[in-house]
Amino acid sequence: MEFPTVPHFMRVCTLLLLLLLLKSGVVYSNSDYLIGLGSYDITGPAADVNMMGYANTEQVASGVHLRLRSRAFIVAEPHGNRVVFVNLDACMASQLVTIKVLERLKARYSDLYNENNVAISGIHTHAGPGGYLQYVVYIVTSLGFVRQSFDALVDGIEKSIVKAHENLRPGSIFVNKGELLDAGVNRSPSGYLNNPAAERSKYKYNVDKEMTLLKFVDDEQGPVGSFNWFATHGTSMSRTNSLISGDNKGTAARLMEDWFERKDSVKMNPVGFEDNSIPRRISNIIPSLSDNHHELLELASSFQSPPGRPTSRTLSVARRVRGALSQVDKPRFVSAFCQSNCGDVSPNVLGAFCTDTGLPCDFNHSTCGGKNELCYGRGPGYPDEFESTRIIGERQFRKAVDLFNGASEQIKGKVDYRHTYIDFSKHEVTLSKGGASEVVKTCPAAMGFAFAAGTTDGPGAFDFKQGDDKGNPFWNLVRNLLKTPNKEQINCQQPKPILLDTGEMKLPYDWAPSVLPIQILRVGQFVILSVPGEFTTMAGRRLRDAVKAVLSGNNDFGSDIHVVLAGLTNTYSQYVTTYEEYQVQRYEGASTLYGPHTLSAYIQEFKKLANALISDQPVERGPQPPDLLNQQISLLTPVVVDGTPLGVNFGDVSVDVLKNATFKKGEKVSVTFWSACPRNDLMTEGTFALVEFLEGKDSWVPAYDDDDWCLRFIWSRPSKLSSHSKASLEWRIPEDVSPGVYRIKHFGAAKSLLGSIRHFTGSSSAFVVVS
């Protein structure tokens, strides 16, 4: 008899051991990291609240174009450090929101997540509810602090982090980067041209064209998400839009999440798209139906609009499309399109033109006949802002899919972080000039005259214009009624003529921040610089290069270091230009709060953080920012009562589809319901609007909701003091929709005179969609 050789015997034993481990449910992984991703609804109040971004008092929310979300990832060493990055479909992060989120995380997890290892960043959409920042200058147009906006953000951020924490599992991370050429242009080219020619010659473009993407892959479940960083403003939606929207980056995120959920269930072409179309989920939900028009009409005629009826809030959540599609044992794919150094980058890529003549605006001042109000940037879908938003979003989405599919460089190495607070109102900066050094200071915050001129994405008013380094006597008198800047402040801010001396205005509380957080997060060779503002293209390049130079001298990082700048993170302090751009005093320079040496201060302090990171040394915490929650003032009136005309129910149809109506793909279906103020219930993780498909003879299946591009929820009331209101739901029928019988459904909540909230729903008559 022959006995097995020792190597063969060992292989058999190893195989048996592996089988036993698999049967016991114990999983052993070679992964360096635990990864977890999570997402949660932060849409907030869809009525009555001024939108954050354009500072236009007339831009008040009145419905939903796309829901807003908080998306988070956590990367942890199995027995060591961890970092959290949160991307918000919001204009920017808020110091007060950050403070309260960290308080909740401490109560839940002790010191596991804290100010050092948590970053909260905004995509800079200008179509989200305002009123959630704590400094006066940022909440004037929203009539002060808006508790609903604030709570929606704090709750949603916490829940997205909790989901990411609960989803932590062994996994790997891959990085990829590539150029996206047609999603951003420089809106202040004259400012950019003031940078040294030798510096400009190092770059092919006057904006950053590179997108950098992280791909997260669970060891067992495969890809679970992606986060990417790319610089372009969230201003595809204009200053007159009143529908809540994530703008181009929110659009891109929705497209990519839907693409991933669908990609394994339909045949894709080589680049990952079905017939080069935007991905949809509808064919996953709805079975094919023979296009027998007569039978469909007969079926539809049996479903006439019923009276509105009471319902529970849970029905809005239960009928939500993506909720119906979620898998119990697998977390949903999370894709975030994060902001970077977008300060001078516009998505309105056709350029800026005068609305009266159609000619290009003045190059240096962005004016038309000396007036800034007539100079507007044009998006690729001009004159349709929704189409421009879709195109810029789709371009980012397609590049992200390309990078996602090709990501092969694996992230390896330590997880680490550094964080400190800096008082930018009086910070000393050492400048080196030809071997000599000079100590300069930053200044208390102040906004220049060109700030009031706005930008080509959203012009200002009156006689302000970009490039104004003189000011004028009339507006100086108006300024002095609020606060007259002293000589030291005037000299410190030169050549900026001060319009608002916000850093020294303290009534009823601080108008602008002084203490700001800066932070570095490291995951292997990937580094995130968290900055609390909007860096211009060249300012961002200088900061990235300075930090990369420090890190490159350390063997622990290797030769290929990826450094991204995450703008609008942890708090907000407006813009950061280069010293040379500041001299021109376009909008971005006028909005660089802390004077001409602001960027130099950032570079100096980030280099200190980078050195502490590679030397494994701690950094001082620095001065603490204030918590001004208890000092906030709100002038937004609450909802008093909702009502309907005599004999009308909430949810009744006011304007229905025509009897025996038939629609084709690409057409718009509109239905109007008697409704109530959306502030009564934000329908968080639910929906105000729903398109349902008739499956069989009597089963209605959710097909589209108010988080879909094709369905809009538009709310209105006849006057501000009226208790009556209506909701118009508009469905633009997608090209890939299945023929069949459909209806439109509305969910809402009404407030009684005694303050109780009653949820209701209503449905349109059924109608037919044909090919």
Mind telling me the catalytic residues?
346
- Spatial separation of the C-alpha atoms in residues 649 and 488, rounded to whole Å: 64
Beta carbons of 216 and 59 less than 8 angstroms apart: no
- Spatial separation of the C-alpha atoms in residues 649 and 675, rounded to whole Å: 9
Beta carbons of 581 and 190 less than 8 angstroms apart: no
Beta carbons of 677 and 736 less than 8 angstroms apart: no
Residue 477 backbone phi and psi in degrees, to 5: -65, -45
- Spatial separation of the C-alpha atoms in residues 725 and 676, rounded to whole Å: 6
**Which residues fall within 8 angstroms of residue 600, CB to CB, at 6 or more apart?**
429, 431, 440, 579
Helix axes 95-109, 147-166, angle to 10 degrees: 40
Give me Rg for the CA atoms of the chain: 27
Chain centroid offset of residue 547 CA: 26
Helix axes 385-406, 247-263, angle to 10 degrees: 50
Q: Where are the beta strands (DSSP E) in 92-219?
A: 118-122, 128-129, 169-179, 185-186, 210-218
Strand, helix or coil at 360? strand
DSSP 8-state class, residue 335: E
Beta carbons of 609 and 418 less than 8 angstroms apart: yes
Tokens (6 digits) for 363: 């190059």
- Spatial separation of the C-alpha atoms in residues 545 and 555, rounded to whole Å: 17
Q: Dihedral, CA atoms, 428, 433, 436, 439, nearest 10 degrees?
A: -10
- The DSSP-derived string for 560-611 is --EEEEE-SBSS--BEE--HHHHHHT-HHHHTBTT-TTHHHHHHHHHHHHHH
* SS3 track for 370-392: CECCCEEEECCCCCCHHHHHHHH
Tokens (6 digits) for 700: 């209605």
- The DSSP-derived string for 262-331 is HHTTS---TTS-GGGPPP-SHHHHS------HHHHHHHHHT-PPPPPEE--HHHHHHT-HHHHH--TTSP
